[in-house]
Structure 1
Amino acid sequence: MSQIKNLSVFQKVSATTTILSNVAGTVSDIAVHEGDYVTEGMTVLKTQGLNSLWVEAQLYSNETGLYKENDKVNISLPDLGGQVIKGKVEFINPELSGSSKVALIRISIPNTQGLIRPGMLTYIAIGGGNSRSLAVPASAILNNGKGSIVYVKNTNGSFSPRMIKIGIGNQHYVPILSGLNSGDVVVINGAYLLNSEAIFKNGSDNTMAGMKM
């Protein structure tokens, strides 16, 4: 409106025109270049507000029933020194992707300080309540094609593989649903080498014999 008023007052056409947006945000795409023609209704540029962002994660089909919309989520950002912020589940896609058979989950997070940038890596932890469960470090768990195993120390000093059933964990710890008891001594580092030695000595189909270490 101010440009139209200036035109009526000065009776002079400017070589440039200022285009004002009715929303605040960051320019994410410019659809025209110098010398291009523009017409009414044509998209000139796109802006996006970054005060609130979406985090997208993927769930396996057997995990989708464990979560629901409005669940509270902790978001950890490695690029920001592991800073943890609160988020909320806004959407769970009811359809699975055709190839990977995973479902998309979308989480809203605040970004009032503008520190979070689209494309950053995040870790999510969904859960609530005060429930406790037995858990082991993620590095202790191996997958042998038949399921998940850990190596447990025996009373005679040897180590034996044990089949376990795991729950949904994070990048650090994985809950154990069955197969381990509180007090069991589990190999945390070097389980892969121990498993390789067991396969070398006993064969891939018979790795349940204890190994003296």
Structure 2
Amino acid sequence: STALITIFIFTGCKNGHENHEATSDSYYTCPMHPSVVSSTPGACPVCNMSLIKVEKKENLHAGQQGNFITIDKRQQELAGIKTDTVKPRNIASTSSIIGTVTIDEDQVKTISSRVKGRIDKLFIKTTGVYLKNRSPLYSIYSEQIQADGKEYLSLLQKSKTVSTTTKLTNELVSAAKNKLFLWGLTEKQISEIETSGKTSPLITFYSPESGYVTEVNITEGMYVDEGSSLIKITSLNQVWVEAQLYSNEISGIAESKIFQIFSESNPEEVYKGILVYSNPIVEEGKRIHLLKIRVNNSGGKLIPGTLVSVIPEKSIANVLAVPKSAVLLEKMKTVWVLAHDNTFEQRMVETGAENKFWIEITSGLKLGDIVVAEGAYLISSEFILKSGAGQRHDH
């Protein structure tokens, strides 16, 4: 199990042409039964497997009671050892609750049809697509737009041919152009009509802003009326987090106004949220408190549907902490600390508050210490094997 994995990782990458005689820095052992130790090659008396050679490489430092082990870079990579730094992190004194990221309804933009007509081409057919500002949405066949375009061109042509342009003529041209703006045509599209001297019943409409498509209510070939809801686009620069509290969770949470939000995909990043809605409801006979928290999401990393941890800000303290995976919960709480180069030291620690990701260190480590965050149990297994080898008797 762990012993076998440890021996394979920390010895498997050795040179295959090494001496078959053990030295003071090596011994032979069984991969399946590490209690079997020998100074010479042979077979395990328990399972008859060939013994393998293991380098002790203890590199113990005087006065440190042998709590050191050296592991080269190659072995660290094979073992998947990763480190993290002891530094202040926000940890709450109360338990977190689970929330779900949802769309902020105030950020939803409904795109309606300006004119009556037939959808000729639909550029966006599925939800979840991110659109940049001015992205094409759909083309519509509208005889109304074509007729008004022809009227504008006619008035424009008359204003250029008469010797004296009257105020009334200018007003009629301006009104005709403004009507095209009201139908949703852009300045560029109107300029193209002026330049070409032609109008088309097919007009393409564009997204008025950037955002994610959350609703598509049309298909190609569909006839729509003026004012019909066609597409909905939502900005994720601001989102809601919805959470439910049962009666045993309400104390100290429901009355909070400011919350901190943590995403499991990126626990280092903290989002601040403000309570915008709180309402007790009854669901299946149980009294539930529904919270809606508005969160600034300018980076767009919080995606609707994502589960997050929600913690009242007033219960959070900034304390020295390490990843929970760094602390080994055996007889005593210990961590492996990078002492220098590739040498690690085992230290006892005392811990305090913790959450899903981090655990407070109250004693044993200082700010800036580098600890093993992943692979600590493998290092401990290797350390126990090497430390115990010198105390065992040959078989």
Using the size of structure 2 for normalisation, the TM-score is 0.30
2:261 matched to 1:79?
A: no
In structure 1, stretches of 5+ residues that fail to align are 132-168, 174-213
Residues 79 and 121, structure 1, Cα contact 8 Å, conserved in 2: no
Match of 1:18 in 2: 205
Identity of counterpart residues, as a percentage?
A: 29
Alignment equivalent of 1:91, drawn from 269, 274, 277: 277
Three-state SS of the structure 2 residue aligned to 1:128 is: helix
Contact 1:76 1:123 in 2 (8 A): yes
Q: Which amino acid aligns with 1:123?
A: S
Counterpart CA distance in 1 for 2:191 and 2:231 is 25
Offset, 1:92: 0.7
Deviations 1:7-57 (A, max 9, x none): 465422053422443x44222111101111111110110011110111111
CA displacement at 1:67 relative to structure 2: 3.8
Q: Deviations over 1:102-122 (max 9, x none)?
A: 221111111111122111110
- Name the larger-Rg structure: 2
Contact 1:87/1:108, CA 8 A, preserved across alignment: yes
Q: How many angstroms does 1:69 deviate by?
A: 6.4
The aligned residue for residue 225 of structure 2 is 39
Question: Which of 302, 305, 311 is the aligned partner of 1:125?
Answer: 311
1:59-96 C-alpha deviation (Å, 9 max, x unpaired): 11354463456622111100224532222222112333
Q: Secondary structure at the match of 1:83?
A: strand
Query: What SS class does the counterpart of residue 281 from structure 2 fall into?
Result: coil
Larger RCO (CA within 8 A; separation ≥ 6): 2
Task: Write the distance in 2 (CA, Å) between the matches of 1:108 and 1:15.
Answer: 41
* 1:1-213 correspondence to structure 2 within 5 Å: 1-2=186-187, 3-4=189-190, 6-7=192-193, 10=196, 11-13=198-200, 15-21=202-208, 23-64=209-250, 66-67=252-253, 71-128=257-314
Q: Normalising by structure 1, what TM-score?
A: 0.52
Q: CA RMSD in A?
A: 3.1
| Structure with more strand by fraction | 2
Task: Label 1:96 to 1:29 Cα distance change in 2 as closer, same or farther (>3 A).
Answer: same
Q: Flag structure 2 segments of 5+ consecutive residues without an equivalent.
A: 1-185, 318-353, 359-395
Aligned length: 135
